[in-house]
Amino acid sequence: MELTAPLQFDHVDRQDIYEYVESHGRVDAEKVRKALQMEPRPFGHHVAILQRSGMLERDGNELRIAYEDSDTQEFETEEVEYTIRQARQEDLKGLVGAIRAAIGSGAYVDAETLADIIDSEGVLLRHNELESRIFFVACVDDDVVGWVHVKHPEIEKLSHTAELTLGVLVQYRGQGIGSHLLERGTEWASDHGYEKLYNSVPSMNQDAIDFLEAHGWATEAVREDHYKFGDDYADEVMLAKEL
């Protein structure tokens, strides 16, 4: 299923099943059936149709939102071998840990907020009437060491834009991981018709600003004293890239 495709259901029970799975991330099929109070035969019929339409996947007894087919890229430097691929629901715990470790001092407010949201929701992939989001992760021996996140609101006037955040664990920086993640997220956004990416960081996070500017991003605006860290204020630097 394309995350940018509008959701269309020709039966209310199929919509109920999809929305239940979407809100839970990965859930036992029997739990879904009982929660929605459906009989086994019609439930199985509706799930089969959702699978054929590319909206749901079944993994054993569990249902989850269908993931787009996406290549796994392999990279190697003198110091490390790593892969970049689309994140899966089972990456959630490692991804949350990587985000929180990577932001360290809290100088990346959007990433900190993102970690709190996905941790509390327990859901990585989202596609509903309000928002869509996708993650790609960089992994070393199946451990998440970096991520890129693309999110866009399901609002017509903003449908050409998306928010991008990314980060890499300190010990794996300098290996090109951040650049490859940024490239992967940017290519995905471009391939899916977005015209503009944006990101906002506190002015104290000069490394992030320098990194994005080195990859063709530009500062669009600065909101003075937008953040407060203890007794200190910091500006919000709003960056964007035209695709």
| CB-based contact 92:124 (threshold 8 Å) | yes
Tokens of 109: 């407010």
Residues sharing a CB contact under 8 Å with residue 169, sequence separation 6 or more, in sequence order:
98, 101, 102, 145, 146
Task: Give the phi and the psi of residue 223 in degrees, each rounded to 5.
Answer: -100, 115
pLDDT at 44 over 90: yes
DSSP3 helix / strand / coil % (the chain, rounded to 5): 35, 35, 30
Task: List C-alpha distances in Å: 227 to 124, 150, 200, 204.
Answer: 27, 23, 11, 10
Quote the DSSP letter at residue 8.
-
How many CB atoms sit inside 10 A of residue 151's CB? 18
CA distance 229 to 240: 24
Is pLDDT larger for residue 121 or for residue 45?
45
Task: Give the phi and the psi of residue 135 in degrees, each rounded to 5.
Answer: -125, 145
- Plot region of 25 (φ>0 → left; ψ -120 to 50 → alpha; else → beta): left
Residue whose C-alpha is closest to residue 135's, from 122, 121, 146, 120: 146
CA dihedral 110, 163, 25, 70 (to 10 degrees): -130
CA distance 188 to 205: 26
Instruction: Map tokens 């019929």 to a residue.
Output: 45
Map residue 168 onto helix, strand or coil.
strand
Give the pLDDT confidence of 162-187 residue by residue, as tens digits.
Answer: 999 999 999 999 999 999 999 999 99
Query: Which residue pairs, CB below 8 angstroms and at least 24 apart, start in 215-223?
Result: 215/179, 215/182, 215/241, 216/241, 217/241
- Does the pTM surpass 0.85? The reply is no
Give the pLDDT confidence of 48-101 residue by residue, as tens digits.
Answer: 999 998 889 898 999 988 876 678 999 999 999 999 999 888 888 999 999 888
Q: What pLDDT, on a 0 to 100 scale, did the predictor assign at position 195?
A: 95
pLDDT at 222 over 60: yes
CA distance 223 to 203: 10
